[in-house]
Amino acid sequence: MPRKLKEHNGLKMSAEDPRTPAGAAPPPRFLAATHEVLNQPPELAGYNLYAADRALREAVAREGAGAAEPGLLEFGRRIGTPEYLELGQLANRYPPEFEPNDRFGHRTDLVRFHPAYHELMRTAIAEGLHASPWSEPGPGAHVARAARYYLHAQVEAGHGCPVTMTFAAIPSLRLQPELAARWEPHIASRHYDPANRPAHEKSGLTVGMAMTEKQGGSDVRANTTRAYPAAAPGPGQPYELLGHKFFVSAPMCDLFLVLAQAPGGLTCFLLPRWRPDGSKNPMQLQRLKRKMGNVSNASAETELRGALAWMVGDEGRGVRTIIEMVAMTRFDCMIGSSAGMRMAAAQALHHCSRRSAFGRLLVDQPLMQNVLADLALESEAALALTMRIARALDARADGHEDLLARLCTAVGKYWICKRAPQHAAEAMECIGGSGVMEDSPMPRLYREAPVNAIWEGSGNIQCLDVLRAIAKTPAVLQAYFDEVARARGGHTALDRHVGLLKAELGGAPDPEYRARALVDRMAAVLQAALLVQHAPGWMADAFCRSRLDGLGHHQFGALPSGVDCARIVDRAMPREP
Ligand SMILES: Cc1cc2nc3c(=O)[nH]c(=O)nc-3n(C[C@H](O)[C@H](O)[C@H](O)COP(=O)(O)OP(=O)(O)OC[C@H]3O[C@@H](n4cnc5c(N)ncnc54)[C@H](O)[C@@H]3O)c2cc1C
């Protein structure tokens, strides 16, 4: 039989030893294979992200989106392939680049992205993550979208920024009906069109948001950008904006909701990237920010040099107008951080169920079980709260649901986003040294984790917003306690802590100083109430004992004795049934 020769770098290689050129003397044995790679888990890839997530499947059915299940199963399979998961790595390895002018010197304000980013955007928009609850409202619309967003954000988080802003802009835009009638059909289009061209030449539009200025982010009333009427003043009318914006993420969006000082006070405007006559609207990018995370997403510093924009909502009511958008971006921060925790927990569980140390799989070692179970608990509790708020958004005509959404978006945005960085760090540690390496998904999850807590109202701002909501509409607090009362009798620790929280909220001094402590408790009690109602008893028990009774639960892996860690770990394992 003829000897088969393989080729390597143009050399014919021996069939017996493919490292040896044909005809050459074989190397001494000790220069041959040095070792076999052992005890290294394979990549977590090639699985159905939806099918392998029991908690998510239960939440989708429970919160009213059961009809979306077949689509979610198909989506989970499609985005779990190794090729699709790799898009997340690529979109971050090759960051966006800014080109202010074309080669002839014309101002273009172009940001170039890696094709992987565009692919992620294309999918997100085709799936309706940017608009489906508005363009196709109905039972379970927010829940189904939240589930899809949760899955896609596990692949990559940065592209979620323009997707979220586009989704969130619609409620604000609808406050100016003629502008909404003109733009919403194009925003809701399922076609992603990244071209740097005027809106009327494009098949789909995305929307960004520009509030923050150098002198004030949380305190947007400190905005100094001025708006001058370009014709008759008033809502829906054109203005010219002069000033700057210090953070404008996704600057390739086609439209932006912008805050500026009109003669009557801080006002919201809709600013297109190109003017209707096809010329470049002078919202000029100065540079892209150099960010520690959220790398695939571009965030720019800009100047507004007489940029044309249309007034949205009433003059002087800018915060009132844009808060409709901000409420939705805050909800998406809950989804995004829950997704990050799910992916981090899945990576840790996958790794530890295949990696041995000291003669046993890590997942079978009691202390590691404690850590893994704790990570899984946090992840499921975050998801349960997020999906409960998604249902509330689907049912805002119901007074209880509306009040719950108002208060608990702030509670959840604060708490879930705050838990994510510590969770990511702990999951990374489960994987050990390899978890720190840039070719693992962990550094990306870790660096992505803090941003959700900072933008769209940082932690303190959310806590103060909770106090403000309670002071302005005391019924929100009643709605909160009505909601947790649904779990009454389900766990003694929960009942006890509901009583303690009522006393604490009932007039203890210094609420502003203690706002974090209060909202911490509100979040933990609400998550506990959801798990007591909907999760297996051993899961809810572990949560109540560690998060309610376990005062000072500052560290993952400090669950009390008697928790059924093995079942918690098994439930969370990214494994198809
Ligand atoms: C990656 C990235 C992208 C962004 N993209 C956009 C964008 O597209 N559009 C946009 O408009 N903005 C964007 N931002 C800005 C972001 O929304 C702001 O950074 C955020 O609102 C905080 O504002 P600031 O940075 O001015 O901080 P500050 O407002 O100065 O706040 C600093 C700290 O003080 C705390 N604080 C403020 N007031 C109080 C108070 N009364 N009591 C107690 N604590 C308080 C805050 O919680 C925060 O921790 C982006 C930010 C980042 C990091």
383-407: pLDDT as tens digits? 999 999 999 999 999 999 999 999 9
CA-proximal residue: ligand 1, atom 35 (nearest): 460
> Ligand 1: distance of its center to the CA of 511 in Å?
22
- For residue 289, give the ligand 1 atom closest to its CA: 1
Whether 211 is in the pocket of ligand 1, judged by its Cβ within 6 Å, is: yes
**Of the candidates 399, 257, 240, the residue with the CA atom closest to the CA atom of residue 324:** 257
> Do the Cβ atoms of 54 and 534 come closer than 8 Å?
no
Tokens for 448? 């992505």
> Ligand 1: distance of its center to the CA of 216 in Å?
8
Whether 516 is in the pocket of ligand 1, judged by its Cβ within 6 Å, is: no
Q: SS3 breakdown of the chain: % helix, strand, coil, rounded to 5?
A: 50, 15, 35
Whether 451 is in the pocket of ligand 1, judged by its Cβ within 6 Å, is: yes
Whether 215 is in the pocket of ligand 1, judged by its Cβ within 6 Å, is: no
- For residue 249, give the ligand 1 atom closest to its CA: 8
* Pocket residue to mutate for ligand 1, from 206, 212, 452, most atoms within 8 A of Cβ: 212
- For residue 250, give the ligand 1 atom closest to its CA: 8
* Pocket residue to mutate for ligand 1, from 289, 461, 512, most atoms within 8 A of Cβ: 461
Whether 458 is in the pocket of ligand 1, judged by its Cβ within 6 Å, is: yes
Angle among Cα 170, 385, 536 to the nearest 5 degrees reads 145
Whether 292 is in the pocket of ligand 1, judged by its Cβ within 6 Å, is: no
Whether 417 is in the pocket of ligand 1, judged by its Cβ within 6 Å, is: no
Whether 440 is in the pocket of ligand 1, judged by its Cβ within 6 Å, is: no
> Ligand 1: distance of its center to the CA of 247 in Å?
10
Whether 291 is in the pocket of ligand 1, judged by its Cβ within 6 Å, is: yes
Per-residue pLDDT of the chain (577 residues; tens, 9 = 90+): 334 444 444 445 445 554 555 666 655 555 678 899 999 999 999 999 999 999 999 999 999 999 999 999 999 999 999 999 999 999 999 999 999 999 999 999 999 999 999 999 999 999 999 999 999 999 999 999 999 999 999 999 999 999 999 999 999 999 999 999 999 999 999 999 999 999 999 999 999 999 999 999 999 999 999 999 999 999 999 999 999 999 999 999 999 999 999 999 999 999 999 999 999 999 999 999 999 999 999 999 999 999 999 999 999 999 999 999 999 999 999 999 999 999 999 999 999 999 999 999 999 999 999 999 999 999 999 999 999 999 999 999 999 999 999 999 999 999 999 999 999 999 999 999 999 999 999 999 999 999 999 999 999 999 999 999 999 999 999 999 999 999 999 999 999 999 999 998 887 788 898 899 899 999 999 999 999 999 999 999 999 999 998 755 666 777 878 899 999 999 999 999 8
- For residue 208, give the ligand 1 atom closest to its CA: 8
Neighbours of 544 (CB within 10 A): 27
- For residue 248, give the ligand 1 atom closest to its CA: 8
CA-proximal residue: ligand 1, atom 17 (nearest): 455
Beta-bridge partner residues of 210: 258
- For residue 212, give the ligand 1 atom closest to its CA: 11
- Residue 226 parent element (H or E): strand 226-229
> Ligand 1: distance of its center to the CA of 333 in Å?
14
Rg of the chain over Cα atoms, rounded to whole angstroms, equals: 26
Helices then strands, each counted (H, E), the chain: 18, 13
Tokens for 406? 């108002």
- Residue 409 parent element (H or E): helix 399-431
- For residue 294, give the ligand 1 atom closest to its CA: 1
Coil, helix or strand at residue 29: helix
Whether 218 is in the pocket of ligand 1, judged by its Cβ within 6 Å, is: yes
Cα(154)–Cα(573) distance, integer angstroms = 15
> Ligand 1: distance of its center to the CA of 300 in Å?
15
> Ligand 1: distance of its center to the CA of 67 in Å?
39
CA-proximal residue: ligand 1, atom 27 (nearest): 217
Whether 461 is in the pocket of ligand 1, judged by its Cβ within 6 Å, is: yes
- For residue 456, give the ligand 1 atom closest to its CA: 17
Whether 247 is in the pocket of ligand 1, judged by its Cβ within 6 Å, is: yes
Cα(407)–Cα(419) distance, integer angstroms = 19
CA atoms within 13 A of residue 531's CA, in its CB half-sphere: 31
pLDDT digit string, tens, across residues 370-387: 999 999 999 999 999 999
